[in-house]
Amino acid sequence: MEKSIALFGTSADPPTIGHKKILEELSKIYAFTISYVSNNPKKKHKEHISIRSHLLKTLIEDLDNPKILFNQSISSQWAVESIKKCKKIYEFNNLDFVIGSDLIKDIFYWKNFDKINNRVSFLVILREGYPIESNTLKMLEINKVKFKISTIKIPNISSSKFRSNFNFSNLPTSLIDIVKKNNLYESTKLVE
């Protein structure tokens, strides 16, 4: 069986222990996991993409796992473009696009969904509070979407939760000093 790779694009605003856990678990399943930071056209990002990509790169370097690669050059706000760039660089045919269960219902509205659907399979990571609803499963079936639901268990944390409660224990250790020293996400702190 041909080895496959996971493509894990994220807005990572900031990367959390959840992102770290996903990367660690993907590296146990895939020949390679390629990760990058992108701007989600449906989100307003707190920090600039250059800061977020520096944080994700730092996290990946700290993991020190040759199966986890950071490649910001494949970043695009459009998944179809990132997939195209990734396939050109790495020349793998078996590519799983990693997506959270909070976003799976949106894929049908993505730019060039048909092209994406023809080029990749989806690996859906379940997030607490975001079950995959039966109508979404039906749409996946109707559109002949190739997907697997992951058994990876991730902490119930998200970048937006970190920004609202500023609990540093939700950040990977390698990022805490960077965030503190550079006053990143400061304006999101709750004022007492």
Q: What confidence tens digit (pLDDT) does each residue in 163-182 have?
A: 888 889 999 999 999 999 99
Averaged pLDDT for residues 39-49: 90
Indicate if the pLDDT at residue 10 is higher than 60: yes
Per-residue model confidence (pLDDT) at position 41: 84
Helix axes of 49-63 and 173-181: crossing angle, nearest 10 degrees = 150
Per-residue model confidence (pLDDT) at position 190: 43
Question: Taking a C-beta distance cutoff of 8 angstroms, is the pair 14, 52 a contact?
Answer: yes
Q: How confident is the model at residue 40 (pLDDT cuts 50, 70, 90)?
A: confident
Beta strands in the chain, from DSSP E residues, in sequence order: 5-10, 32-37, 68-70, 95-100, 121-125, 147-149
HSE toward the beta carbon, residue 117, CA cutoff 13 A? 16
User: Which run of H or E residues covers position 20?
Assistant: helix 17-29
Distance of CA 171 to the CA centre of its chain: 15
Per-residue model confidence (pLDDT) at position 189: 47
Indicate if the pLDDT at residue 146 is higher than 90: yes
Cut 0.85: pTM above it: yes
Residue 144 DSSP class:
T
Q: Hey, what CATH class is 5-188 in? A: alpha beta
> Among 107-111, 118-122, 149-153, 155-159, where is mean pLDDT lowest?
155-159
CA distance 130 to 161: 15
At 63-110, the pLDDT tens digits run 999 999 999 999 999 999 999 999 999 887 789 999 999 999 999 999
pLDDT above 70 as % of the chain = 95
Question: Would you state the torsion angle of the CA atoms of residues 10, 11, 12, 17, taken in this order, to the nearest 10 degrees?
Answer: -40
Per-residue model confidence (pLDDT) at position 186: 77
Domain residue ranges of the chain, discontinuous segments joined by + = 5-188
